Structure 1
């Protein structure tokens, strides 16, 4: 498993540096090169996580006892991504602030810029840190080899991430009034709701189906810490989904105002 850890430590930063260098050679600005490179690497990680999750879920007939080698391997492989992505998100924040004039062009990295990043993106940073400090030890050492099916389901929650990144890239490129962004936004909302929210009742339903327990009775047959853990993971997903809905609504209203403005006035 140490080889998987080393592989992840080399792949994700290596991809980021490669994308960044290629984009800068094509005369992209530093900010655009950093932001788009971070989005591309996030999409690659999410695609790999989804593929691993689908493989595990499809292979486990018994949701409690069946195991798959890919679970522990991908946890080790994906762990360096969480550390790398915190740094990459900071770089995106830093260069975006410089472009907006918040940070002077000659100023470098400082405790103030790090503090501003942590204040702005504290929930994402906390999410990444919790996966490393809490989820990883539990998944590797404390669950005693049980529940690979559920870990696979957690991997599939990344399915919506590429669509989120595509939308951010399109906006970054100034394509925020295109049909492509609208279609991608619809797919993002549907995939996010399905794979990050509905996945939890799906896991409860699969557990209940195996042990012949009605869905509404499943929480009462599980230990309290399992229900609390799921609630802790589900809560930020609901919050982020609400933010996505609000953003989609703002884009819709802005586009509608633009259409109304462009309509020819009739006498």
Structure 2
């Protein structure tokens, strides 16, 4: 009974509702869009910490034999918290999208409608597709098609959430107007590093671990795996690469903007005017 009460069906919407009630009393100047955005980010961070903790437990428990070693969290975390969170997060992202455009004064956002839902899906198509893919691909694979094998790799997939708290912190710092502080800059580096290590480099690592177990080189691993496994990994990895490129571009633009601002503020960037002797009598 306690497990059911603590599962994500109650936990994540409950946290979201609590943050929406508490934050306006602390930040009285925030709009509803601000409150919903930060509430969503905070709940995402809570889920990420839980997922990473579960991933560490599973990976550390199953490293003896990465194929047959078992840990109950590999399955139960997906059921209790993974599926409820992904379902909740789609709704929370829609609310954030709705309130953001409503604050901007868009006529279509005076109330919820099929038009606002359709607009959300079009603007956040990749994120929505990512969540749906996890629900329709990762869940069946985890529960039915693994034949009680590969808990180690499920634990590795939990570790992909390591970058989420850093991404959320960056958005919250911007919301607080602290994007120029040193913490935001350090956090930006942490976002890029954690995102690359846990959402991109993790996949070659898992292939390498699989190859090491069977004594085959890394480049041969894809040919020893079922086509469905390779396609599933590609479906998960492809958007991560796309988002990482976007993060790198955003970081470069921020660095360039700050560098240009420093050059304009520096007295050395504005040389003394030279007199035009050609016009002297």
Q: What band does the TM-score fall into relative to the shorter chain?
A: over 0.9
Q: Distance in 2 between matches of 1:110 and 1:243?
A: 30
Aligned to 1:97: 101
CA shift in 2, pair 1:120/1:5, >3 Å? farther
Structure 1's consecutive aligned runs of 4 or more residues displaced over 6 angstroms after TM superposition are none
Q: Post-superposition shift, 1:4?
A: 4.7
1:87-139 Cα shifts (integer Å, max 9, x gaps)? 1111111111122222478x111222111111110111111111112211111
Q: Distance in 2 between matches of 1:6 and 1:122?
A: 31
Partner SS state of residue 95, structure 2 = helix
Please, which moves more after superposition, 51-60 or 125-134? 125-134
Q: Contact conserved, 1:97 with 1:103, CA < 8 A, in 2?
A: no
Structure label with greater radius of gyration = 2
Query: Which residues of 2 match residues 114-133 of structure 1 at below 5 A?
Result: 114-133=117-136
Unaligned residue ranges in structure 2 (runs of 5+): 273-281
CA shift in 2, pair 1:139/1:111, >3 Å? same
Please, which moves more after superposition, 126-135 or 151-160? 126-135
Match of 1:259 among 259, 262, 265: 262
Unaligned residue ranges in structure 1 (runs of 5+): none
Match of 2:150 among 124, 147, 154: 147
Query: Which residues of 2 match residues 237-248 of structure 1 at below 5 A?
Result: 237-248=240-251
Q: Contact conserved, 1:4 with 1:76, CA < 8 A, in 2?
A: no
Match of 1:225 among 220, 225, 228: 228
Match of 1:175 among 173, 178, 187: 178
Q: Post-superposition shift, 1:64?
A: 0.9
Partner SS state of residue 94, structure 1 = helix
CA shift in 2, pair 1:205/1:126, >3 Å? same
Q: Contact conserved, 1:63 with 1:207, CA < 8 A, in 2?
A: yes
Q: Contact conserved, 2:163 with 2:198, CA < 8 A, in 1?
A: yes
Q: Contact conserved, 1:5 with 1:80, CA < 8 A, in 2?
A: no
Aligned to 2:198: 195
Please give the TM-score of this superposition, normalised by the length of structure 2: 0.90
1:217-260 Cα shifts (integer Å, max 9, x gaps)? 22222222222221121111111100111111111111112112
Aligned length: 266
Match of 2:238 among 235, 246, 258: 235
Q: Distance in 1 between matches of 2:255 and 2:175?
A: 18
Q: Distance in 2 between matches of 1:16 and 1:108?
A: 21
Please give the TM-score of this superposition, normalised by the length of structure 1: 0.95
Q: Distance in 2 between matches of 1:219 and 1:145?
A: 21
Aligned to 1:15: 15
Q: Distance in 1 between matches of 2:100 and 2:259?
A: 28
Partner SS state of residue 74, structure 1 = helix
Match of 2:219 among 216, 221, 225: 216
> What root-mean-square deviation, in Å, do the aligned CA atoms of Structure 1 and Structure 2 show?
1.7
Match of 1:74 among 58, 72, 77: 77
Q: Contact conserved, 1:46 with 1:159, CA < 8 A, in 2?
A: yes
